[in-house]
Structure 1
Amino acid sequence: MRLSFLEPLYRQPGPFASVYLDTSRDVAVDDPDAAIELRWRHLRDVLMSEGADRDSVTAVAGTVGSDVDIPGMHGQAVFTGHGRLVLLDELPAPPTRDTAHFGALPDTMPLIVQHAPGIPYLAVHVHYSGPHSTDAAGAVRIEAEVGTWPLTRVTPGHRLREEIPVSDWLNAAGEVGRELEGHARRIDVEAVVVAGDVWARGILIRRLPAALRGQITTFEGGGESQPGRALLEQRLEGLLSGRMAAHDRALLDTFLAERARDGASAEGVSAAVSALQRGRAKALFLNNHPESPLRLWVGPEPGQLALTEEELRSYGVRDVREERADAALVRALVGTRAELVVVPEQRLRLFEGVGVLLRYADRPTFRA
C-alpha cells in the first residue's frame, strides 16, 4: 500500500491530536447526534489530560460528526495540529473503539488498516423485469461504479447510469461495454461484479472485452445501493473480504522469494529499524497488532529512529523522545516513500510481527 494519502500529516511538525470516533447514525438510539457528542466529550477530556492545546481540540470539535450525509455504519479519523485541521478521513467501518491521542507523532495505524486492502473494482447492476424480447416494451437500466474497496463504502466512486429501450439493448450493450472498459482501465480494476437480470446481464457480459470477462463474478438480483454507499456493497463485502490487492500480493511474493534465498529481506523490529534508518526499505510488512506495547526512540526527522536512546544519540541526534513503534515506523515509511503491507497472521506470521523487503541486498564481503 502506498502511503501518499498521509503526506499532509508530516509536512509540519507535531504535536498532533488524533481522534477515531464512531459517527454512525443508523443505530438504535433516540438521538444519535447526541450520542456522538457525548462520546466526543469523553475523547476531548482524554486529549486535554494528555496536554493538548485548546485550539487543536477546538479544531477537532468543529469537525467531529460533520459526515451527516453518510448513511450506514462508519466512522471518522480526525487529525489536528497547531489549532487547525490537518487531515480528515471517513472510515468505511466504525473504529473498534473510540480513541484519542495527543503526541508528537500522529496515530495513523488504525487509519491505514481501514484503507486495506485497497482493491480497485467495477460493480455493475443490470435491471430489467420485462419479457426477454427485442420487440417488447420496457427498458434495461444500468448502474455501474468504479471504486476502491473498502473506501468506496463511504466515498462513492465514479458512477454511470443508463436507461436503454429493450429493443435497442442488443446493439447498445456493446457501447455500454466499451464505456465500462474505459473506466475500468483508468483504475486498473482487479475485480468485476455484475448483478441483476440473467438475460440482460448476459448480453452485456458477452460484449465486454476478454480481459474484463476473466475477472467477472456474477450474482442474481443485487438491488440498488443506499445513496452515499457503494453500489452492490454487500456483494463486494462477501467477495473481497480477506483478499489482498494484487500490488500488495506481488510485494509479499517478492519478500517470500527473497527470504527463501537469504536475499533482500529481513524480519524483526531491529531489522526494520535498521533498513528505515538507511532508507533501504522498499516495503514493510506488518501483522496488525493494534495494542502492541512496542516503543522506539525517535528524532525530528523520519529516518531518525532507534531501539534505544543511546543508539539514537550516538548518531548525533539531540532532540530524542520515546514513541509508539507503529507511529514511528509509519512516519519513516512516508518520509522515505516506502510501502506498507498489512499481512494477516493466518496468511504469514512474521518474527516480532514485522518484515522488510529491501531495495537491494547487502553485497557480500570477500576476504583473502
Structure 2
Amino acid sequence: MRLTFLEPLYKQPGPFASVYLDTSRDSAVEDPDAAIELRWRHLRDALRSEGADQGSVTAVARVVGSDADVPGTHGQAVFTAHGRLALLDELPAPPARDTAHFGPLPDTMPLLVQHTPGIPYLAVRVHYRGPHSTDATGNVRIDAEAGIWPLTKVTPEHLLHEEIPVTDWLHAAGVIGRKLEGHARGIDAEAVVVAGDVWARGILVHRLPAFLRRQVTPVEGVGESQPGRALMERRLESLFSGLMAAHDRALLDALLAQQARDGASAEDLPAAISALQRGRVKALFLNNHPESTLRLWVGPEPGQLALTEQELRSYGVQDVREERADAALTRALVGTKAELVVIPEQRLQLREGVAVLLRYTEPESRT
C-alpha cells in the first residue's frame, strides 16, 4: 500500500486530535443521529482529558456525522490540528471501537488497516427486463462501477448506467465492452465481476476485449445493491475476503525471496527500526496488533526512532519523547516514502509481527 495520501497530513505540525467513530445509519439503530452524538460526547471528553485544545475539539465536532448521505454501516476517521481539519476519511466499516487520541503524532494505523486489501476492480451488473425471456419488447439494463475495494463500499463511483433495447443488444454489447475497457484500464483493474441474466451476461462477456475477458469472474443472479453503497457489495465482500492486491503480493514475493537469500535478518522490530533509521525500507510488513501497548522513542524527524531513549540520544537527537509504536512506524514510512503491507498472521506470521523489504541502496549517512 502506497501512503502518499497521508503526506499532506504529516506535513502539518502537531499536536493532532485523532478520532475514529462509528457513524452508521442502519435499521439496527432507532435514532442514529442521537447515537452518534452520544458517542462523540464520550470521545470529546477523552480528548479534553488528554489536553486537546478547544479549537481542535471544535474542528472535530464540525465534521462528526457529516456523512448523513452514506447509508448502512460505516465510520469516520477525523484528524485535526490547531483548530483546523487536517484529514477526513470515510471508513468502509465501523471502527472496532470508538477512539480518540491527542498527541504529537496522528494515530493513522487504524485508517490504513481499513484501506486493505486495496484491490482495484470493475463490477458489472447486466439485467434483462421484459415480459418473457429475451422478449423483443424488453430492455437490457447495464450498471457498472469501478473502484478500490473496500474503499468504494461507502464512496461508490457509478460510471455507467444504460438501458438498451434487447433487439440491439448483440451490437451494443461490443460498444459497452469497449467503454468498460477504458474504465478498467484507468484503475488497472485486477478483477472484473459480472452478474446478471445468463443470456445477456454471456453476450457481454464474449464481446469484452480479450485482456478484460481473462479477468472476468461471473456470479449468479442480478446482485441487488443498497442505494449509495457499492454495486454488488455483498458479492464483492465474499469474493475479496482474505485476498491481497497484486501489488502487495509482488512485494510479499520479494520479501520471501529476500528471506530465502539472506535469512530473517530483516525480520523483527530492531531490524525494522534500524532499516527505517537509514531510509532503506522499500516496504514494511505488519501483522496488525491493535491491542499492542508497545512504545518507541522518537525525535522531530521521521527517521528518528529507536527502542530506547539512550539509543536515540546517542545519535545526537536532543528533543525526544515516547510514542505509540504504530504511530512512530507510520510516520517513518510516510517520511521515507516506504510502503506498508498489512498481512494476516494466518497467511504469514512474522517474528515480533514485523518485517521489512529493503531497497538495497547504499544507506544515507545519519545526521
Deviation of 1:7 (Å)? 1.1
2:60 is aligned with 1:60: yes
The superposition leaves residues 107-147 of structure 1 with CA deviations (integer Å, 9 ceiling, x where unpaired) of: 111000000000000000001043455x7111100000000
User: Which amino acid in the other structure matches residue 244 of structure 1?
Assistant: M
Residue 48 of structure 2 is matched in structure 1 by 48
Q: State how far apart, in whole Å, the 1-side matches of 2:199 and 2:160 are.
A: 20
User: What's the CA shift for 1:162?
Assistant: 1.0
Contact kept, 8 Å, 1:181 with 1:212, in 2: the verdict is yes
What residue in structure 2 maps to residue 327 of structure 1?
327
User: 1:152-205, CA deviations, whole angstroms, 9 ceiling, x for partnerless residues?
Assistant: 001112420111111100011001001101110111111111001100010000
2:2 maps to what in 1?
Answer: 2
Give the corresponding residue for 1:226.
Answer: 226
- Counterpart CA distance in 2 for 1:119 and 1:24 is 24
Cα distance in 1 for partners of 2:248, 2:2 equals: 10
Length, aligned pairs only: 362
- CA distance change for structure 1 residues 47 and 216 in 2, over 3 Å: closer, same or farther? same
Preserved CA contact (<8 Å) 2:280 2:361: no
CA distance in 1, matches of 2:75, 2:83: 22
Equivalent in the alignment of 1:85: 85
1:18 correspondence with 2:23: no
Over the matched positions of the two proteins, sequence identity in percent amounts to 80
Determine if the alignment matches structure 1 residue 36 to structure 2 residue 36: yes
Residue pairs, 1:1-368, within 5 angstroms: 1-130=1-130, 131-133=132-134, 136-262=136-262, 266-360=266-360
TM-score (norm: length of structure 2)? 0.96
User: Structure 1, residues 251-276: CA drift from partner, whole Å, max 9, x if none?
Assistant: 00100011011179611111111111
Letter in 2 for 1:86: A
Distance 1:361 1:256 in 2: 19
Aligned partners of 1:291, 1:109: CA distance in 2, in Å? 12
User: How far apart are the structure 2 equivalents of 1:100 and 1:310?
Assistant: 30
* Superposed displacement of residue 316, structure 1: 1.1
Q: CA deviation at 1:220?
A: 2.0
TM-aligned CA distance change 1:160 to 1:264, over 3 Å = farther
User: 1:218 Cα shift?
Assistant: 1.1
Contact 1:197-1:221 at 8 Å conserved across structures: yes
- Is contact 1:123–1:144 with CA below 8 Å preserved after alignment? yes
Unpaired segments ≥5 residues, structure 2 = none
Query: Does structure 2 conserve the Cα–Cα contact (< 8 Å) formed by 1:129 and 1:197?
Result: no
- Corresponding letter in the other structure for 1:53: D
Q: Secondary structure at the match of 1:300?
A: coil
Which amino acid in 1 is paired with 2:324?
R
SS at match of 2:136: coil
Deviations 1:18-46 (A, max 9, x none): 00000001143331101110110000110
CA contact (8 A) 1:192 1:215 kept: yes
Deviates more, 1:311-320 or 1:64-73: 311-320
In structure 2, how many angstroms separate the alpha carbons of the residues matched to 1:236 and 1:273? Answer: 37
Separation of aligned partners in 2, 1:41 and 1:292:
26
| Distance of 1:65 and 1:22 partners within structure 2 | 9
**In the alignment, residue 192 of structure 2 is paired with which amino acid?**
V
User: Could you tell me which amino acid in structure 1 is paired with residue 93 of structure 2?
Assistant: A
Q: Alpha-carbon deviation of 1:362? A: 7.7
Residue 224 of structure 1 and its aligned partner are, at CA, apart by 3.6
Contact (CA 8 Å) 1:147, 1:158: kept in 2 or not? no
